[in-house]
Amino acid sequence: MSLLIKGGTVVTHDQSYRADIYCVDGRIAAIGENLDVPANTEVVDAGGQLVMPGGIDPHTHMQLPFMGTVAKDDFESGTAAGLAGGTTSIIDFVIPAPQQSLLEAYHQWRGWAEKSVADYSFHVAITWWDDSVREEMGELVRSHGVNSFKHFMAYKNAIMATDDILVESFSRCMELGAIPTVHAENGELVFHLQQQLLAQGITGPEAHPMSRPPVVEAEASNRAISIANTLGAPIYLVHVSAKESVDAIRYARDNGQHVYGECLAGHLVLDDSVYRDPDWGRAAAHVMSPPFRPKGHQEALWKGLQGGTLQTTATDHCAFCAEQKAAGRDDFSKIPNGTAGIEERMSVLWEKGVNSGKLTPNEFVAITSTNTAKIFNLFPRKGAIQVGADADLVVWDPQGSKTLSVETQRSRIDFNIFEGMTVKGIPSCTVANGKVAWQQGELRAQAGDGRYYDRPAYPSYYDALGKRNARNAPTAVVRAK
C-alpha cells in the first residue's frame, strides 16, 4: 500500500520546504523532489497547498457516560469528524467510576474505541484512591501504553479528586515516569456557588458561568501547580480558560517548574455572552466547564500560545444534543457539561491564529500537533514529518474556505458553537496510517481503521538516588516563538 503526496510545501514545527512525501505501509518512506516510486502508487496532488503533520487532539470524550447521559459522538463518528477537520489522532479519557478498577475501566474504553476510524490513545482518570489504584497505575504504565493520569479537581460528589488524592497520585506518577494532568476548578466552591444561585432562584444557563468564575479556576490552577512544585512533579493543565491560570503557569515556568498548559479552540474565540442568549436551548448548548469567559480572557490565551506559556490546543469534544441538555431545564447544574469542536479546531486556529498574523504556519503545527506529541512522548512517531514517522498528514488548502455550520458538520449533535464563522484555510485531504482517509468531503476510512497507540513512560522522574531528576522531564517543547 503506497501513496505519494506530490507538489506541496511541507510545513513542520520548524521548517517549510518544497518536497513530495512517499508513504509505504503506514509510514513515511521518503521525502524529497523527483522521488522514484512504483507505477501503481496512488498520488494525491498537493499543488499550491501545504502538507503538515496530522492534528493531534489531546482532549476528547467520545461516548462518555457523564451526568446521567452518554455523549452522542462515539469513537466512530467523533474520529470521523476529526479526520474531516485534519485531525488524525486523539487522546481520549478513561474515567473509572469511584471504586471501579482502573484496568476494568481501561478495557471497557478500549472495547468502545475499537470502531474508531482514526488513531487513539487514553489518559486515565484517578477518581478515588487506595493501594489497588496505585498498583493498577503501575500496570497501565508498564503494560498498556498509558503515560498520563487525569485529576478532576471539580465535579464534587462524582469524580472529584481531593488534595490527598492529588498528592498520592502525583507522587506515584513520578515513580512511574507518567505525567499528571488536571482539570483545575475548585469543586467545593463550584458546589457552594451552585447551591447559592439555585436558592436565589437563578436556575438558567446564565448561572453556569456565575457558579464557575475565573477565580475558581485560578485557585485550583495555583493549588495544583503548588502541589506539583512541592513534590517536584511535572504537571499539565487541561483546558486553561482564564487569564489568571495563564499567569500562574507563566510564573511557575519562569521559576523553572515543568508546567504545561492546553487551551481549547472554543475558549480562544467565544466569550460568556453566549450564556445570556434569550433562547434557553442555545445558551444551554454552550454549557461546558470551565465556561466561556468574559471578554479579555481570550486575548490572554492567545498571548499564552504566542509566548509559549501554553503549548497545546484541544477541543474537549464532548457532544450532547438539545434533548440531553434539557435534563437541566429547571436546574442549570444538571445540564450535561460539554461542547463539540474536533472537526473545526484546525480551521478555527488557522483562521483566527495564522490569518490574523498571531501565529506562523510553523507555530500552528507546533500547537496543533507537535507539542502534544512531545509532551506525551509520541514524538517523532507522531507530530513529525520524518522518514519512519507514522504517515498521518493533512494536505492543507490555505486558499480554500468554508462556513462552519451544524448543517454541514459530521458530528452527530444538533449544534455548532462556531456556527456561521467563515474560515479560510481548510483541509483538502487527510492521510491516516499512509492511506487517504478523507478527501474533499468524502470519508474513505472505515470503522476499525483507527489503531490504539502506546505512549511509553518517561524514565522515572527520580534518579537512582531517589532525587528529582529534571533530565527526565517531558521533552522540551517548541516555544511558539
Rounded to the nearest 5°, which phi and psi values hold at 235?
Answer: -150, 145
Binding residue (CB under 5 A) for Zn ion from 73, 76, 244, 316? 316
Find, among 364, 344, 343, 346, the residue nearest to 354 by Cα.
Answer: 364
The item of Zn ion, ligand URP, none sharing an interface with residue 58, based on CB under 5 to 8 Å by kind, is none
Taking the C-alpha atoms of residue 194 and residue 208, their distance in angstroms, rounded to an integer, is 8
The item of ligand URP, Zn ion, none sharing an interface with residue 338, based on CB under 5 to 8 Å by kind, is ligand URP
Q: Are 177 and 141 contacting, i.e. CB atoms less than 8 angstroms apart? A: yes
Our finding on whether 316 is near ligand URP (CB under 6 A) is yes
The item of ligand URP, Zn ion, none sharing an interface with residue 337, based on CB under 5 to 8 Å by kind, is ligand URP
Q: List binders of ligand URP among 175-204 (CB under 6 A).
A: 183
Q: How far is the CB of 155 from ligand URP (least distance, A)?
A: 7
Our finding on whether 288 is near ligand URP (CB under 6 A) is yes
Q: How far is the CB of 429 from ligand URP (least distance, A)?
A: 31
Residue whose grid cell is 493549588: 223
Q: Are 176 and 146 contacting, i.e. CB atoms less than 8 angstroms apart? A: no
Q: Which residues contact 91 (CB under 8 A, 6 or more apart)?
A: 56, 57, 58, 59, 60, 120, 121, 122, 123, 148, 372, 376, 455
Taking the C-alpha atoms of residue 465 and residue 442, their distance in angstroms, rounded to an integer, is 56
User: By C-beta, is 3 or 238 nearer to ligand URP?
Assistant: 238
Our finding on whether 289 is near ligand URP (CB under 6 A) is yes
Our finding on whether 183 is near Zn ion (CB under 5 A) is yes
Select the residue whose beta carbon is closest to ligand URP and give its number: 337
Find, among 218, 153, 221, 164, the residue nearest to 191 by Cα.
Answer: 153
Our finding on whether 73 is near ligand URP (CB under 6 A) is no
Taking the C-alpha atoms of residue 67 and residue 89, their distance in angstroms, rounded to an integer, is 26
Per-residue contact string for residues 338-377; x = within reach of ligand URP by CB under 6 A: x---------------------------------------
User: By C-beta, is 183 or 410 nearer to Zn ion?
Assistant: 183
Q: How far is the CB of 289 from ligand URP (least distance, A)?
A: 4
User: Angle CA(156)–CA(159)–CA(164) in degrees, nearest 5?
Assistant: 80
Our finding on whether 61 is near ligand URP (CB under 6 A) is yes
Taking the C-alpha atoms of residue 433 and residue 304, their distance in angstroms, rounded to an integer, is 32
Q: What is the binding site for ligand URP (CB under 6 A)?
A: 61, 183, 288-289, 316, 318, 337-338
